[in-house]
Structure 1
Amino acid sequence: MQSHLETQAAFRAALNNAELPPGITAVGDLDRRFSVYRNTVAHSLSEALGQRFPSVARIVGDAFFKAVAQIFVTAHPPRSPVLHTYGDAFPAFLASFPPAATLPYLPDVARIELLRGEAYHAADADPMPADTCAAQISADPDNAVLSLHPSLRVFVSDSYPAVSIWAMNQPGGAAVPPPPDAEAALIFRRGDNAAVLKIDPDAARIVAALIGGAPLGAACQDVAPDIAASAFSTLLQHGLIIGLSQAKESGTHD
């Protein structure tokens, strides 16, 4: 007799193949009833992908998106019961999906939408008052360690103007030719929305280093001063700094 966990595993596996899971019973045509359930699950997962990656769906069109979603759902069954987290592997899947090769920026657009979902569902926190933050940093800016808002995410494309392409495919987005250069953005929750704020790629890398715990001086050391100032000003302006501490200088002892 199968254990409960073995039964669950067999049931999950049967959702992606034509076989019935062992041990299940039902009134009526069991094959037909389970097939209806299997199709309902697949449809629900495809719909969840469409809700999480609406710009991707708009770029490729409904028919293409439904087809790629069906393939993805079969290859990537959910690992969590939380439906809004489904699709974490979708950007990487698109990057290796041959029919999408003519749209090489598509995985980056999907990454933006993935990060927007993460930002929207992240924890909340109160911003640090700007005057307090500025005063504390001025005492020792190089060793200042910033605590940033839990919803803050950093997007950097290596090759494509993905932020502009994403913006063009929003409701009411202007259909203008995107710039030729690769783009970056800060993504964070603002009210009941997840904002996408295009910034200089070097400024985005500063913020990524700060999120990783680097002191301000180390995060900015290889970047032009005006870009470093712009990165800090952007964080302050949008209430993304929630705390500040000082890193211990190298070589000091308690």
Structure 2
Amino acid sequence: MLKQLQAEFYQHVLVPNKTKNYQINGDFTGADLVQIYHHQYCMSLKEVLTKTYSCVQRLVGKNFFMSLATDFIQTYPSKTPNIIDYGKEFSAFIKHHPHCQNMLYLSDVAKFENLYEQCYFSTNSIFFMQSDYPIIKIWQLDEDSAQLDLRTDRVYLKIYKHESEVIVEKITQQEYGNEQCR
């Protein structure tokens, strides 16, 4: 009974249901409280996505990013109590999102930002990625940059942590290939 009630409540937090009214003492109705909880849930996840994918937000603008985040949260609700783990699917989500089809580099930027954050929060991780776009240059752009030059050869990156600092290195295609075979 409790598990069923918890599952039902979780579904109502994801998609508030005006017809369900939990018995509550106080000035708010159960529907009001679920709506407040839903709003807080979404705001918390948007904050996580904003912190992890700050470059993506900078590239597309806050309003567009918040719209993407809303769509993402509806498609991929949080399934873990550890908020740091939320959003790993964002890169793939962006890659297939209809409004991002003219920004093919964006999913690679998101993948890079996710790997960077994973590396930051882990102790002994090394990640490798390849991209057809100049990911490091894009990531280092500031908000005042006038134009984004996407012309480049494929780049290969090694992302790792040394002491408390995350290091990003360009590596050769051969080094990348060697690591993929391990």
Q: TM-score, normalised by structure 1?
A: 0.64
1:184 aligned to 2:156? yes
Corresponding position of 1:62:
62
Amino acid of the structure 2 residue aligned with 1:152? I
CA separation of 1:92/1:21 partners in 2, compared to 1, >3 Å: closer, same or farther? farther
In 2, Cα distance between equivalents of 1:174 and 1:192? 33
Structure with more relative contact order (C-alpha pairs < 8 Å, separation 6 or more): 1
Q: Is 1:160 matched up with 2:133?
A: yes
Aligned amino acid, residue 126 of structure 2: L
Equivalents in 2 of 1:59, 1:186: separation in Å?
23
Matched residues in 1 for 2:163 and 2:54: separation?
20
Which blocks of at least 5 consecutive residues in structure 1 are unaligned? 124-149, 211-254
Which residue number in structure 2 is paired with residue 113 of structure 1?
Answer: 113
* Uncovered stretches (5+) of structure 2, i.e. residues with no partner: none
Identity of aligned residues (%): 24
Alignment of 1:1-254 (within 5 A): 2=1, 4-19=2-17, 24-26=22-24, 27-30=26-29, 31-123=31-123, 150-157=124-131, 159-169=132-142, 177-210=149-182
Superposed CA RMSD in Å reads 2.5
What amino acid maps onto 2:133 in structure 1?
Y
SS at match of 1:80: coil
Pair 1:13–1:164, CA change in 2 (3 A)? same
Give the drift of 1:6.
1.8
Report if the CA contact (8 A) 1:95-1:107 is conserved. Answer: yes
Q: Secondary structure at the match of 1:39?
A: helix
Structure 1 pair 205–8 and aligned structure 2 pair: CA distance change class (3 A): farther
How many correspondences in the alignment? 180
* Structure 1 counterpart SS, 2:129: strand
